[in-house]
Each structure stands twice: as C-alpha cells, then as structure tokens.
A and B are shown apart, each in its own frame.
Chain A
Amino acid sequence: MKWLMALMAITVSSSALAGRPQYEIEIKNHMFYPDRLVIPAETKVRLIVHNRDATPEEFESFELNREKVIAGMSTTAIFVGPLSPGTYPFFGEFNLETAQGVIVAE
C-alpha cells in the first residue's frame, strides 16, 4: 500500500509542477457559468469546477472524454486536453435540460 501512496504522491506532485493553465467554472441553479469557456488549443488545462448547488452534479462530455461527479457545495478539478482547435460541448448529466456548456479551443 505504501508504494501505491508514494506513486500517487509523485504523480500528483509532477502534475502540480507541470503548472497547467487553470480555468474556473461554476454550477449554480443547475447551470454552468460561464457556459462558454475559451482555452488555448494543444494545451492541457486544469478546470476548477465549483458546485454552488446543494445537490450533486455530474460533469460529462463525450467529446472531451470526461466524466466526474461533483458533490453539492463543493469544488473539484478536471484536467482537459490537449485539444485540437474546435468546440467541445459538455453537460451536467443529472440536469440535462439546463446544465449545458461548451469549451472552445483556439
């Protein structure tokens, strides 16, 4: 178990040292703010997602190959990219009608 914890710590440290550009998104009233986020193409970025609602939400995107549940009133991080220039939709799986957004890589 110790080797596993050490591996995780090294990986997390190397990730932090890589100094990824960071972008923030909020979930409020089951909607994403902003619902259009522009990031640099061909660059891995760290997306910080704040869920301001009391209920959980699942950040999901087929185009980004990402899926993560975010507990109510909490914050999490999701690494995205590197992406070719283009538009990549994402949504909140638990509130499909309202929670929609796009990431634009340019």
Chain B
Amino acid sequence: MLVNTFTIVLGETLEAGVLGSLLFYSCHSLQVSRKVLLLALLFGVVGASFYGGYLNEISLWFDYTGQEWLNGLISIGVFLCLAALARQLMIQKNGRQLALFLCSTMVFIHEGSELYLFYASVPQANFWPVIVSGAVGLAVGVSLGVLLYYAILLLGNAQHNVAWLLMALVGSGMFLQASQYLMQADALPSFSMLWNTEWLISERSSIGQLLTATIRYESTPSIVEVTCYGLAWLVFFATRIKGGVNA
C-alpha cells in the first residue's frame, strides 16, 4: 500500500513537477510575476476539489462519458496553452499572463483531482502512513521539478530551445492523452496497435512509468494516437517558424 501510494503520488507530481519547472521558467523568461502561479494554484486546488467532490455527477454526463470529455478538454487546454507559451518564448512576447495562468490552473486541476480521489479512497486505519509516504512522493516530484528549473537556467543561450523542446514533448503528450480519453468515450475510432515496443520499454517498468508520467509514453499506439501526436508536434514546430527565431 505504501509503495503504491509513493508511486501514485510521484506519478502525479512528476508530471506536475516537469510542467511546474516550465511554467516557472516561462515566468522568469517572459517577465511575469510569480503571483500568477500562486493564484493559479489557488484556483487549481478549488477546481480539483470540485472535480473530485462532484466526480460521480460528472461521470454521468453524456451517457457515462463526462469524465473522459472533461479530462480530454483539460488535456487539450494544457496543450494549447503550452503551445501559446512556446510561441511567446520564441518571440519574447513579455508580460502576457493569460496562457500562463490558464495552463497552471488546468495542470493543478488535472493532477490535483486524482490525488484528491486517491486520498478519498484511503481507509481510516492507513491514513497517516499513506499521508507520510505520499508526502515523500510529493517531495521527490517537487524536488525534480526544482532541479529541472535550475538546470534549464544553467544552459545559457540554449535555455529557450531546451524549454521549447520540453514544452513540445509534454504538450504533444497531453494531446495524445486527450485522444486516448476521447477513444475511451467512443468519440474517436479505435484501431489495432500500429506497433508494440513493450519488448524495449515496458509501461510497467520504472523507466516506462517515468516516461508515461512525463511525456505520455505509449508502447502500443493506434494510428489515431500517432496521428494526433504528429499533429501536436506540427503545431509546436509552427510556433518556431512563425516566430522567426534563430534556433
């Protein structure tokens, strides 16, 4: 139970940690006050609590597919906001706060709601041990996010390009995840897998779980998922071309 708690909390906070480091970097680079992130955290916590608290009602929407639709829309929202941030970074459009605020809020709702539900499922007898092992997972995830933030800052001239690359990796993964939610809701067609890389990196392995948590690694993707992932990367490439930035 405790190892499982650590894994679940780390999985959620790892993605939030990577995204958090990119959002902090965007704040730094675009000269936006960090108060925007604090406000987003507040909205995100309230949003995650509402989501967790009303999960049953949300699940009933659209013939029991409300959760997939909402998660899919949040994932698409994070993808779009990351693409907007990537473009702002490329053209140094400073002082813009909206994409940063929306992206941060949706990330907190996305990651926070699952943690809320997980802790709601913990039996009373296991509550404190689970809280402690969850706190360790949270600390590891946050620490990695902080390390990544300072690692990006140490890169000098390459920091914009590395931040863009990370945004493209995470953002395209978010769009891939949205396609999976919509397939799960039968809103997108499902097909057999195009390839199987389980032999190379299993989704059950530590590396597989790390890659899944951060960039949505998928060992058995279908043509719909591969197409969505490719389209998302095209959007990110467009943020560079139209920005006219020297790479």
Contacts and interface: CB of A to CB of B under 8 A. Distances in A.
B158 interface: no
Contacts of B122: 55
A97 B1 CA distance: 8
Contacts, number: 90
Interface string A56-96: 11100011011111111011111101101000000001111
Interface string B167-185: 0000000000000100111
**A-side interface mostly:** mixed
B65 A12 contact: yes
Interface in B1-54: 1, 4, 8
A39 to B, nearest CB: 14
Nearest to A12: B62
Nearest to B203: A62
B179 to A, nearest CB: 10
Nearest to A13: B63
A11 B186 CA distance: 8
A15 B186 contact: yes
Given A18-B186, A66-B184, A57 B121 contact: yes
Interface residues of B, number: 34
Interface in B211-230: 218-220
A79 B114 contact: no
Contact of A81 (B118, B121, B190): B190
Contact of B64 (A9, A76, A82): A76
A8 interface: yes
B67 A79 contact: no
Q: Which of B122, B184, B186 has the most CB of A within 10 A?
A: B186
Given A63-B220, A65-B180, A11 B120 contact: no
A66 B221 CA distance: 12
A77 B190 contact: no
Given A56-B55, A66-B184, A76-B59, A82 B220 contact: no
Contact of B187 (A15, A20, A72, A93): A15
Contacts of A9: 62
B29 to A, nearest CB: 33
A26 B35 CA distance: 46
Contacts of B180: 65, 67
A9 B65 CA distance: 11
A77 B218 contact: no
A69 B64 CA distance: 12
Given A56-B117, A57-B121, A76-B67, A68 B184 contact: yes
Nearest to B5: A94
Contact of B67 (A46, A57, A62, A68): A68
Interface string A13-35: 00110101000000000000000
In the A-B complex, the 5 residue pairs with the closest CB atoms: A77-B64, A55-B121, A71-B56, A15-B186, A79-B186
19 contacts: A9-B62, A11-B186, A12-B187, A15-B65, A15-B185, A15-B187, A55-B121, A56-B118, A58-B118, A65-B180, A65-B220, A68-B67, A68-B184, A71-B59, A71-B117, A79-B183, A79-B185, A84-B192, A93-B8
Interface of A: 8-9, 11-12, 15-16, 18, 20, 44, 46, 48, 55-58, 62-63, 65-72, 74-79, 81-82, 84, 93-97
